[in-house]
Structure 1
């Protein structure tokens, strides 16, 4: 493997070492060792900027399953590199922050950092994989690792609930996305994203193009918390604050954003892509910001603000992709929208990461995140207050911070929708700027709530669990670095233009597109965007001051009609239905289960033979039947019937053994001595085990001795016998495909180096199958031994 592949997999490998480091260095916080890896990876990926800024890419391939078109293709372009830098850069700051946030004496740090490393590696795999199946594999790793991180405090019910909720929703989307990927493969004949982009025009003519697009978007929307799948994100805030700052501001929730950006060149020419990506995005912006205002928990506010900001970025990607294929790039419509999406992606990671860390500091130093109990902390935590002002004002889109610049570009992209004369945007397109402006007003309001409800107003020490004080310097370093970037990117945005933003935009474009000169500045004159900003500030201040008068609108929607209520109700009903269904067929009687199994067996085989026209009897080339075969067959029948009517368990066991030994005689007649020996060994062991088990059973009861004839059982028994007989005759008489036996005959000696075909098939051709069968038997043996051991222990104890 190449160095790039090792870089992607290094977090997984390092995760193996974390428990050993935790045990070996008890007096040192494990985070100090973990911090080295993301810092090293950030430095490693940073060097690729000099390559991608010129439009070049890096592609390294390691064969995995080439016969299936599945290879580990590591691909770095401007878009993938941007996400890799966010993953490792923000990851480094989060690990540093966690060292001071998590107490090494109280927390299971080895678990935390194992999960965190797994997540970092999974995210790197998602953004740097060109193969769809490999991308999906890493995608599901993000769901698993985030489930573990959200449920890190598993002793808390809300943590378990949030972890389960995120898992159910995101894995549902991931499986849908996998189905979309498989449809793309069936249409395009490749799992390579680059190759699919090259044949996007051909894919559009396929009947399964729209279903593939819908399934892929379902995966992206669930992961990036787009309406109505956003409900998992607020409950995921039960995770430790470092997890929230990492997963839910900079990385995991942006995996869906990445997927939409990466797949845009394939699907963007379809009008439905605009309305789904742009429409769901702009409504998510409004809905998230509207619901953020009513929250009373700092992390709850930040959770809904994350939903809102993700909707903003998603809407920009939808608008930009539409313009690309209708040759309006020269009007800068596409350039502005996509440029704003990439720029705001970076800005959001900086200001939101810092705000999550502020929420963690407030919780850590006061014992609560409830804004109804907070207030007046400015005097006790001046540095944290300064960080909160910078982060919140940037999120609100106020100058001179970076959020103002990308928010103005966002308004420009939404206004330009009205100039598009396709997809009915010149009429229905007015929805975009209207919802964009309304959502920005509520964004301004919740940003002010975060700052002023927490740090100004009346101090309420009686409602706090701890006496507030400033956080230690180590906990402040990471948010200080992030808000410093907020200011630097605000005053000097063009340090990102050509090195980061431009190459990332080109990564979303078709291969032959090159981004022209990018210049981001504060002042563009008295534009509509500027007046929209003035309106946001004016109405935002007014609504913030008048909150008590209009907040009653949140009570208009009854709790039972909310999405969370539908989710909880659906989960309860599904669990209850599954329980009732299960107890309906799980009667506790083996006889009942055999009825189910054999009934399904009969129906399935009859349907299969009917569907394939396999009801046929061909007597050609049959061997003659001798006296020995007739005698052994009669003996087999007698043995089998004796089992049914025996009044003693011993008689039944002996008859069963006789039937097995009789079958071995058939193998001798048919010149299969290895099978005969196997059958003899199996029967001998089986009879011995049966005798050993039945020796400890009580004598047959009167009920068992007088068991009468049951028509249902008789019909099922006869049906199994008849169907198996018909199936055996049909398999000889009907050939639906060429037999595989010729392959084994030709290759047993040459490829496996063996003479006994049966042994070679079991050991070589079906080696894994045999190995797993042995594993199953070993697990069963361990289970039986454990139960016997447990029973003996209980007897000794009393």
Structure 2
């Protein structure tokens, strides 16, 4: 295991230690033990930055399942390093913030174990070159996210949000796996680098559109793109540190990473680029429009996150579009650089905003905008950080969000001067939708500031408001400071992170030299677009009461959430109906299903492959065998028609003892003795059990004849005989019995062939069969103890009721 692999797996290793530590040390906040883990990782990742800046790619392989091509291949370029630094850096700040946010009365052991597992999962996603391992870590993010969202599992909304997020994201992840398998069928490799090298095969394959659609399902569900965004607002039921970590900087960026990583593979596909561009732009505008009507601050941030993710997604689509059409190479560079830069900026201002909203909730007891207001003088530090981060989100100078929003608007406006073929006639819609989305982004950003800190305190809050303790202010203060620093000095990121990450998206060795500046002169169209956004946004905010009624027309039955809930309801109802139709509780029905399927498969096999029987070598049937067979048939028929339990037991024993006679005639005395012993014991047990059963039962009633059962019985018997004869007639290998006959004494020093086979030649089979008996015995013992303990509890409850 290399140092890079250790860095990825360090959080999950620490999770094991944390789980053990929490059992013995609960007086000290567990977060202090967890904090060094992401700090060590981010420090190590910064040591790799000089190599990546020089264009080097770090590639390490650790064999995991080499025979199926599933290896732990770490591949670190600028793109992977950027996301890994965000995951570990924001993770360290979130852990520090959680120390002040979460009380030691919470189940901190579970919280930090889940958080560390998630950290490993995200690092595994962004630093993996093997798509199968990427999928493994991808689904691990969904599972750990489910556990984190459901941390307060006693709340119904927490469970609902956790289940909703897991259903949607794992559904997309499963489809994404299908896309990976499709790419493997095309390129014969699971390596992303290998797939890029085999690009001509992907371009010519008819399976490529299938891979594109399936992989985009995974990206859109994870990054909450329309129409799959509905899980993200409900995920806000998680503790605020989880929201700040998963739903601003890391998990929701996994889909962004996936699209960026696979852009070199699919940039030639119109299906890929237009889908990403259109879905991203629509998601941005739709989510920003819906954020304004929310009263819960975390819901506002949830929709704003969806909107910002749509913005980044649209930039990746536009960059790929300009690449495939050859419309404008500069447009491609601007779009990709803007996507990378805004990914960094969004992590800073949105992570800080989530933490600040957590502070508001923690110190006032509410997140409702209707109950907040007038906190400017009470919480001045929180106000300052909110202004910095919210205005950055709105795209105003001198903050970092202004720079990346300017690049976004510049890229979208440049579309008007590009040639996109058939879409050129409607290309004006692209900058129009971008500007509309930016206007609503400005409105909800101002709404957050105004709703919390300005106006009068017209409602009492559950808690008396006061400023948060220092421990909770450090993390958002650091992120707010980065918002200012990256805004005033953006070029400290240009050559160190942005350029290498953009080169990773382009999969090109051509070096970039990006220069970012706050001012580009009055001839910059993006500047005038920003001014228009601010003016229109200010007017709409001021006259909000005049147009807010339009949200009343969006009724609940016409929402995606309603469709999701109804879909679950009908699927649950339909599933219950279908399940109840075959899960009848009667063993005889289950046997009909099993044996009926066996007959159906047998018929299909015979029809497709034919049936060759060779009966020339069969031994002659002797008179004693005919007599025993008749006895077995008569005994079976008597069992079916008799109403007496005693007669049925005797006939069942007759069948077993007759089979023992067959073993005697076939010169297998050991099997005959075994059969006789088993039949004797089971017959005696049947007699004992039946003696204690009620006098009346369905068995004593007249049993109705069922033609279906007759067909199934005859079919099973016929196919078993045919299978036996076919196996005897088509011997593909020499019988192994000769090997046992020749070697039973020399190799095992035994005289009884059967015993030697069981103990020596098939010793592991016998061992595991013994283990199965042991497990079954433990299970039976556990059931007995459970029954006894429940009886004891019932007696105690009854005694308590009597005393009352």
Provide the rounded CA distance (Å) in 2 between the counterparts of 1:522 and 1:92.
Answer: 30
**CA shift for structure 1 position 448:** 0.2
Equivalent residue for 2:94?
A: 94
Equivalent residue for 1:216?
A: 215
Provide the rounded CA distance (Å) in 1 between the counterparts of 2:680 and 2:380.
Answer: 83
Matched, 1:719 2:715: yes
Kindly indicate whether the alpha-carbon contact (under 8 Å) linking 1:234 and 1:304 is maintained by their aligned counterparts in 2. Answer: yes
Equivalent residue for 2:467?
A: 470
Provide the rounded CA distance (Å) in 2 between the counterparts of 1:641 and 1:303.
Answer: 70
Kindly indicate whether the alpha-carbon contact (under 8 Å) linking 1:761 and 1:767 is maintained by their aligned counterparts in 2. Answer: no
Look up the SS of the partner of 1:722 in the other structure: helix
Provide the rounded CA distance (Å) in 2 between the counterparts of 1:328 and 1:681.
Answer: 86
Provide the rounded CA distance (Å) in 2 between the counterparts of 1:589 and 1:9.
Answer: 49
Look up the SS of the partner of 1:103 in the other structure: coil
Equivalent residue for 1:320?
A: 319
Kindly indicate whether the alpha-carbon contact (under 8 Å) linking 1:298 and 1:450 is maintained by their aligned counterparts in 2. Answer: yes
Equivalent residue for 2:127?
A: 128
Provide the rounded CA distance (Å) in 2 between the counterparts of 1:760 and 1:477.
Answer: 68
Equivalent residue for 2:346?
A: 348
Equivalent residue for 1:401?
A: 399
Provide the rounded CA distance (Å) in 2 between the counterparts of 1:678 and 1:514.
Answer: 79
Kindly indicate whether the alpha-carbon contact (under 8 Å) linking 2:274 and 2:321 is maintained by their aligned counterparts in 1. Answer: no
Kindly indicate whether the alpha-carbon contact (under 8 Å) linking 1:417 and 1:425 is maintained by their aligned counterparts in 2. Answer: no
- Taking the TM superposition and a 5 Å limit, the aligned residue runs for 1:259-274 are 259-274=258-273
1:521 to 1:772, Cα distance in 2 relative to 1, 3 A: farther
Equivalent residue for 1:381?
A: 379
More displaced, 553-562 or 86-95? 553-562
1:401 to 1:759, Cα distance in 2 relative to 1, 3 A: farther
Instruction: Give ranges in structure 2 of 5+ residues lacking alignment.
Output: 799-804
Look up the SS of the partner of 2:87 in the other structure: helix
Kindly indicate whether the alpha-carbon contact (under 8 Å) linking 2:260 and 2:505 is maintained by their aligned counterparts in 1. Answer: yes
Equivalent residue for 1:301?
A: 300
1:509-556 C-alpha deviation (Å, 9 max, x unpaired): 22x432321111111122111111111011010101011111111112
Provide the rounded CA distance (Å) in 2 between the counterparts of 1:41 and 1:304.
Answer: 31
1:93 to 1:710, Cα distance in 2 relative to 1, 3 A: same
1:230 to 1:528, Cα distance in 2 relative to 1, 3 A: same
Provide the rounded CA distance (Å) in 2 between the counterparts of 1:702 and 1:101.
Answer: 64
Equivalent residue for 1:489?
A: 486
Provide the rounded CA distance (Å) in 2 between the counterparts of 1:733 and 1:666.
Answer: 22
1:104 to 1:557, Cα distance in 2 relative to 1, 3 A: same
**CA shift for structure 1 position 446:** 0.3
Kindly indicate whether the alpha-carbon contact (under 8 Å) linking 1:405 and 1:522 is maintained by their aligned counterparts in 2. Answer: yes
Kindly indicate whether the alpha-carbon contact (under 8 Å) linking 1:231 and 1:564 is maintained by their aligned counterparts in 2. Answer: yes
More displaced, 47-56 or 699-708? 699-708
1:284-336 C-alpha deviation (Å, 9 max, x unpaired): 0011101011111110100000000000011111111222344556x311111
**Aligned partner of 1:521 among 492, 498, 517:** 517
Look up the SS of the partner of 1:63 in the other structure: strand
Equivalent residue for 2:540?
A: 543
Provide the rounded CA distance (Å) in 2 between the counterparts of 1:204 and 1:769.
Answer: 51
Look up the SS of the partner of 1:468 in the other structure: coil
1:195 to 1:770, Cα distance in 2 relative to 1, 3 A: farther
TM-score (norm 2): 0.91
Provide the rounded CA distance (Å) in 2 between the counterparts of 1:156 and 1:779.
Answer: 36
- Taking the TM superposition and a 5 Å limit, the aligned residue runs for 1:762-781 are 777=776, 780-781=779-780
Look up the SS of the partner of 1:618 in the other structure: coil
Instruction: Give ranges in structure 1 of 5+ residues lacking alignment.
Output: none
Look up the SS of the partner of 2:209 in the other structure: helix
Equivalent residue for 2:169?
A: 170
Q: How many residue pairs were aligned?
A: 787
Kindly indicate whether the alpha-carbon contact (under 8 Å) linking 2:644 and 2:700 is maintained by their aligned counterparts in 1. Answer: no
Equivalent residue for 1:498?
A: 495
Provide the rounded CA distance (Å) in 2 between the counterparts of 1:363 and 1:261.
Answer: 35
1:474-504 C-alpha deviation (Å, 9 max, x unpaired): 0000000001110111111111111111111
1:681 to 1:348, Cα distance in 2 relative to 1, 3 A: farther
1:602 to 1:516, Cα distance in 2 relative to 1, 3 A: same
1:779 to 1:532, Cα distance in 2 relative to 1, 3 A: farther
Provide the rounded CA distance (Å) in 1 between the counterparts of 2:738 and 2:227.
Answer: 54
1:177-230 C-alpha deviation (Å, 9 max, x unpaired): 111111111221111111111112212222211111101110110010000000
Look up the SS of the partner of 1:7 in the other structure: helix
Matched, 1:53 2:53: yes
Kindly indicate whether the alpha-carbon contact (under 8 Å) linking 1:281 and 1:313 is maintained by their aligned counterparts in 2. Answer: yes
Equivalent residue for 1:597?
A: 594
Provide the rounded CA distance (Å) in 2 between the counterparts of 1:379 and 1:663.
Answer: 94
Provide the rounded CA distance (Å) in 2 between the counterparts of 1:521 and 1:741.
Answer: 82
More displaced, 784-793 or 469-478? 784-793
Equivalent residue for 1:435?
A: 433
Kindly indicate whether the alpha-carbon contact (under 8 Å) linking 1:173 and 1:223 is maintained by their aligned counterparts in 2. Answer: yes
Kindly indicate whether the alpha-carbon contact (under 8 Å) linking 2:503 and 2:512 is maintained by their aligned counterparts in 1. Answer: no
1:3 to 1:401, Cα distance in 2 relative to 1, 3 A: same
Kindly indicate whether the alpha-carbon contact (under 8 Å) linking 2:278 and 2:314 is maintained by their aligned counterparts in 1. Answer: yes
Look up the SS of the partner of 1:378 in the other structure: coil
Provide the rounded CA distance (Å) in 2 between the counterparts of 1:413 and 1:631.
Answer: 92
Provide the rounded CA distance (Å) in 1 between the counterparts of 2:412 and 2:3.
Answer: 42
1:226 to 1:550, Cα distance in 2 relative to 1, 3 A: same
1:467 to 1:136, Cα distance in 2 relative to 1, 3 A: same
Equivalent residue for 1:11?
A: 11
Look up the SS of the partner of 2:231 in the other structure: helix
Provide the rounded CA distance (Å) in 1 between the counterparts of 2:86 and 2:506.
Answer: 21
**CA shift for structure 1 position 795:** 8.3
- Taking the TM superposition and a 5 Å limit, the aligned residue runs for 1:656-695 are 656-663=652-659, 686-687=682-683, 689-695=685-691
Aligned-residue RMSD, C-alpha: 3.0
**Aligned partner of 2:528 among 526, 531, 537:** 531
Kindly indicate whether the alpha-carbon contact (under 8 Å) linking 1:222 and 1:230 is maintained by their aligned counterparts in 2. Answer: yes
Provide the rounded CA distance (Å) in 1 between the counterparts of 2:385 and 2:737.
Answer: 71
1:712 to 1:99, Cα distance in 2 relative to 1, 3 A: same
Kindly indicate whether the alpha-carbon contact (under 8 Å) linking 1:271 and 1:423 is maintained by their aligned counterparts in 2. Answer: no
Matched, 1:116 2:112: no
- Taking the TM superposition and a 5 Å limit, the aligned residue runs for 1:747-762 are none
1:188 to 1:497, Cα distance in 2 relative to 1, 3 A: same
**CA shift for structure 1 position 647:** 3.8
Equivalent residue for 1:64?
A: 64
Kindly indicate whether the alpha-carbon contact (under 8 Å) linking 1:614 and 1:730 is maintained by their aligned counterparts in 2. Answer: no
Equivalent residue for 2:76?
A: 76
- Taking the TM superposition and a 5 Å limit, the aligned residue runs for 1:179-258 are 179-258=178-257
Equivalent residue for 1:421?
A: 419
Equivalent residue for 1:565?
A: 562
Provide the rounded CA distance (Å) in 2 between the counterparts of 1:246 and 1:580.
Answer: 41
Provide the rounded CA distance (Å) in 2 between the counterparts of 1:14 and 1:741.
Answer: 54
Provide the rounded CA distance (Å) in 2 between the counterparts of 1:682 and 1:68.
Answer: 45
Kindly indicate whether the alpha-carbon contact (under 8 Å) linking 2:327 and 2:420 is maintained by their aligned counterparts in 1. Answer: no
Equivalent residue for 1:150?
A: 149
Look up the SS of the partner of 1:379 in the other structure: coil
1:24 to 1:434, Cα distance in 2 relative to 1, 3 A: same
Provide the rounded CA distance (Å) in 2 between the counterparts of 1:137 and 1:204.
Answer: 27
- Taking the TM superposition and a 5 Å limit, the aligned residue runs for 1:280-291 are 280-291=279-290
1:635-657 C-alpha deviation (Å, 9 max, x unpaired): 44344334324444344344434
1:700 to 1:320, Cα distance in 2 relative to 1, 3 A: same
Provide the rounded CA distance (Å) in 1 between the counterparts of 2:290 and 2:449.
Answer: 17
**Aligned partner of 1:410 among 408, 411, 429:** 408
Provide the rounded CA distance (Å) in 2 between the counterparts of 1:395 and 1:361.
Answer: 19
Equivalent residue for 2:702?
A: 706
Kindly indicate whether the alpha-carbon contact (under 8 Å) linking 1:648 and 1:700 is maintained by their aligned counterparts in 2. Answer: no
Kindly indicate whether the alpha-carbon contact (under 8 Å) linking 2:376 and 2:383 is maintained by their aligned counterparts in 1. Answer: yes
